[in-house]
Structure formats: structure tokens, C-alpha cells
A and B are shown apart, each in its own frame.
Chain A
Amino acid sequence: MVRTISDGIVISPIKNGTVIDHITPGEGLTVIRILGIEDGTNVTFTVASNVVSSRGGRKDMVKIENRELLKDEVDKIALVAPYASISIIRDFKVSVKKPVGVPKEIVGVIKCPNPNCITNTKEPVKSKFVAHPRGFRCQYCDSIISREMDIGDYI
């Protein structure tokens, strides 16, 4: 059985897939949304919310069956859950651990908070944000999404 039992939650073992642990509490569903695997897709996933963490405090946890996250998907997760840990599970065992890192450039993920930005029109253009000392800056209109703002609201 997996060690999450010791965290006091029930999240059943998977054979193959990805486990995202230590997600900032409340951001578990945002992670699902970022990965684009909401209802309607044929991916099986489980979200455990606000569970007690062995590191102290609380956390969210996401388990996705039969899918291994790619590097750029991992990077996107860092936006809302910079302390997450990502484990690729193969044959019930943790096979690879992927560190999350805050990406330098994020394309097509964040919706610009500026309603008058060209990326919020019907133009065929993807939003592009670059890392900035206090958050991320829109490459088109220079608007900043600061860390104090809830980035999840713009994804």
C-alpha cells in the first residue's frame, strides 16, 4: 500500500501514471484544469483536497492514471503549486521524480488580466508570459500577474 495511508487519506495505488503531491491546498482542481483533463476527457484522475501533510500543514494531491506528465506540463503546475512533487509511477512503483521549476516563459496557459490586451480578443494568438521578479509579465501588454494575485484564477 502507498505511504499516503500514513497521511491519513485514502488514495488507492495505481499501476501506471503520475502522482502530484504537496500541491498548495485548494489548487488540486486548478492543476487538473491546467493539464486539460477535466470531465469529458477519458483520463481517470483523483483529487484529494486539504489533507494533512507529513511535512506539516495541509496539501492537495492529484493522481492520474495511465499518463506520464511531460516537462512543460510539470512547469505549468509550478505556477500554482511551486512546492509540488511529481512522481511517475510504473508498475506500482515510483520510477521517476520530476522536480518542478518555475518556467521562464509560459505560452498559452495564463489568460492576461488586462481586458484590453490583444491576447483577449479573437486574434489567433496565444498568451505569452515571461518570468519577472514579482511574478509574470505579459509579453504583449506588459501587465503583471504578481505572486500575490491568485495565478490559478487566470489559468
Chain B
Amino acid sequence: MTHEQKNILSVRDMEREEIDKLLCSAAAFDRGNFTGHELDGKLLAVLFFEPSTRTRMSFSSAMMRLGGKILNLGSVEATSITKGETLSDTIRVISGYADAIVLRHPKEGAARLASEVATVPVINGGDGAGQHPSQTLLDLYTIRESMRIENIDVGMQGDLRYGRTVHSLAFALSKYNNVRLHAIAPEGLDFPSHIKEDLHDAGVELIIHDNIEDALPELDVLYVTRLQRERFPDPVAFANYASTYRITPALLECAKPNMIVLHPLPRVDEIDPAVDALPCAKYFEQAHNGVPVRMAMLNEVMN
């Protein structure tokens, strides 16, 4: 790792000031304040060892909008990785081909390892069940575009046990003043105790709710996540919960008028498509925000 090398590996180890700086720069890009030549002549290596459409495409889109070019890994099957090359060796080699690397990898901590052996900046594009900073930053950005990230109540609904997006977002929010978290999860899929303890250490107030109806009137943000069938003890438990787990226009009637609904997408049945037309539905905007946020990240590490 070189001294000036700037990586973005985890929102957890970023200072609040660094986060705000990225969000500010994302806002500028979002409003069209850029020339499109910021990253002229730069090459970004996009190394995805796991399938992904949105993260990969939005990083590519962000890079190209700033005038840079993309080097794609291509399918993993066709590479030397299947010949047993270590990630460390792959990264060392690719460091010589590009000006920065975006890595998506199935193992937790892969991006940190990559940053240690790389000679160019590394951006974590998601590592296993671990960190996914560009998702967290775009979540924060979307909230910030609707309200101040201060003195707000944020509800998190769904699989809070295994959902990495909610864990990262919860930690990121803990860096802001007076943000209360509300957990709405099926039995057994609540926040793991070590996360609760960490949030407690970070001074976050965490309120656990039995059902969405109780929580909803208090919320400024409702962050909905997808439920995965395999996380439930049996199909009956899943069917029972899933049938009640649906955000509908009727349910949203008891929400505050300015509350926003977010979802990392893809959604399945947890948000009724009839919600899409309501002003509170911000999840597609949230997905679009992935581009300016990733432009800010790329500009930060390469400029």
C-alpha cells in the first residue's frame, strides 16, 4: 500500500467529515456541476467476483460520466482465478493496469486485503456479508436530499439479522446527532446482539417494535429490506410473516406527511407497486443516486 493511496473500504471507519464531504460532492455532481473531464485519461478496473448489475453498472456509468474509462474483469470462469490464483496476486497484477480498482468479492474483508497489496486506490463494491460503502453512502445521500440528517427517527424493517445494508446504514447514522433507530423485524431476524451493543456504545437510541403499525407514526424514514425465504426456520413461518409484510398505501396513511420510504432494491413483494406513485416513495430515486455518489467516490480516490 502506498502512502497517498486513498481507499474507500467501509463507512464504519470513515469520519463524519469525510462522509459529509463525499455527500456534498455527490450533490454537486447530481446538480450537473461537472465538466465530464474530471477523470480524463484514467482507467478504472471493475473486478466483480460475484454477480451484480446495479453496483457494477452504476460504477461504470459514474466513471464514464467523469471522462474515465473502464477495464472489466469479465466472467470469473474465464480468468486465472479459476486456475487457483490468489486474490492478492490478481490485485497486484491489476494494480499495474488501472488507476483504481472497484472490487466485489464473496469473502468478508477481501477489499481490505486488496487495499494492502494494491498500489492504486481500492473501493469496496461489497464484500460478502460485510461492508458495502457505496450503498450506505447513497442511502445517506437520499435521506440528506429530503431532510437534515439530524434529529430524525429512522425505521428499519425486514431482515435486520443478516442484512448488511441496514447494519452499515445504522453505523453511519450513529455518527450523526440525535438519530433514533427503530427496529421492525420478524422473530429471530432482529439485530444481532453484537450490533446492538456496538450501536449502544456509539450512543444510538434503538427502539424495538413488534409491528410496523406502532412504529410508523414516529418515523421520518422507513427503510424496507427484502426478506429471504432461506433465513426463516420453515416455509410456514416465512409464509406467515411475508403475508403481513407489505407496505401499502393504506398502511402509509398513519405515517407523517413528509416520511420517505427507502429500499435498497430489488424488491419482491414487500412494497406494493401502488406505493410507487406516492410522493414518499424514494426508492427509485435512491437507486439513481448511486451514480452521483459513485462519481464522488471515484473523484475522491483518483483526483
Name A residues whose Cβ lies closer than 8 Å to a Cβ of B: 114, 116-119, 121-125, 133-134, 138-144, 146
Taking CB atoms, residues of chain A closer than 8 Å to B125 are: none
Q: In this complex, what residue of A is CB-closest to B130? A: A141
Known contacts A116-B128, A124-B88: A144-B108 contact under CB 8 Å: no
Q: In this complex, what residue of A is CB-closest to B110? A: A118
Q: Please measure, in the bound complex, the distance between the C-alpha atom of A117 and the C-alpha atom of B105, giving whole angstroms.
A: 11
B125 to chain A, nearest CB (A): 15
Q: Which of B69-107 contact A (CB under 8 A)?
A: 86-88, 105-107
Q: Please measure, in the bound complex, the distance between the C-alpha atom of A139 and the C-alpha atom of B128, giving whole angstroms.
A: 15
B258 to chain A, nearest CB (A): 34
Taking CB atoms, residues of chain B closer than 8 Å to A125 are: 88, 113, 116
**3 interchain residue pairs of minimum CB distance:** A140-B109, A141-B108, A118-B109
- Residues of B in contact (CB 8 Å), total 22
Other-chain residue from B88, B108, B201 in contact with A123 (beta carbon distance below 8 A): B88
Q: In this complex, what residue of A is CB-closest to B128? A: A116
A57 to chain B, nearest CB (A): 29
| Contact (Cβ within 8 A) B197 A140 | no
Dominant secondary structure of chain A at its interface with chain B:
loop
Add 9 more A-B contacts to A124-B86, A125-B116 (CB < 8 A): A116-B107, A118-B109, A118-B127, A119-B113, A121-B87, A121-B107, A123-B86, A125-B88, A134-B194
Name B residues whose Cβ lies closer than 8 Å to a Cβ of A: 10, 12, 86-88, 105-110, 112-113, 116, 127-131, 194, 197, 201
Q: How many A-B residue pairs have CB under 8 A?
A: 56
Known contacts A118-B87, A118-B107: A142-B113 contact under CB 8 Å: no
Known contacts A124-B88, A125-B88, A141-B130: A119-B197 contact under CB 8 Å: no
A31 to chain B, nearest CB (A): 27
| Contact (Cβ within 8 A) A140 B12 | no
Other-chain residue from B105, B109, B194 in contact with A119 (beta carbon distance below 8 A): B109
A60 to chain B, nearest CB (A): 30
Other-chain residue from B88, B106, B108, B201 in contact with A140 (beta carbon distance below 8 A): B108
Q: Please measure, in the bound complex, the distance between the C-alpha atom of A142 and the C-alpha atom of B106, giving whole angstroms.
A: 15
| Contact (Cβ within 8 A) A139 B112 | yes
Q: Please measure, in the bound complex, the distance between the C-alpha atom of A50 and the C-alpha atom of B177, giving whole angstroms.
A: 51
27 contacts between A and B (CB under 8 A): A116-B107, A116-B128, A116-B129, A117-B107, A117-B108, A117-B109, A118-B105, A118-B107, A118-B113, A118-B127, A122-B86, A123-B86, A123-B87, A123-B113, A124-B86, A125-B88, A134-B194, A138-B109, A139-B109, A140-B108, A140-B113, A141-B108, A141-B128, A142-B10, A142-B12, A142-B109, A143-B108
B234 to chain A, nearest CB (A): 24
Q: In this complex, what residue of B is CB-closest to A134? A: B197
Taking CB atoms, residues of chain A closer than 8 Å to B116 are: 125
Q: Please measure, in the bound complex, the distance between the C-alpha atom of A73 and the C-alpha atom of B260, giving whole angstroms.
A: 54
